[in-house]
Amino acid sequence: MDDCRKILIAVNDSDDALRAVKYVGNFMKNINSSGYHLIHVFPDPPPDYYSQGGTLDAYKAIMENQGEAALDLAIKTLRKYHVPMDKITSDIQLADGRTISDAILEAREKCGCGTLVIGKRGISKNEEFLFGSISNTLSRKSRGFTTWVVG
Domains of the chain: 3-150 (3.40.50.620)
Mean pLDDT on 53-74: 97
pLDDT for the residue 1: 61
User: SS3 string of the chain?
Assistant: CCEEEEEEEECCCCHHHHHHHHHHHHHCCCCCCCEEEEEEEECCCCCCCCCCCCCHHHHHHHHHHHHHHHHHHHHHHHHHCCCCHHHEEEEEEECCCCCHHHHHHHHHHHHCEEEEEEECCCCCHHHHHHHCCHHHHHHHHCCCCEEEEEC
pLDDT for the residue 120: 80
* 96-113 confidence digits (pLDDT tens): 999 999 999 999 999 999
Model's pTM, two decimal places? 0.89
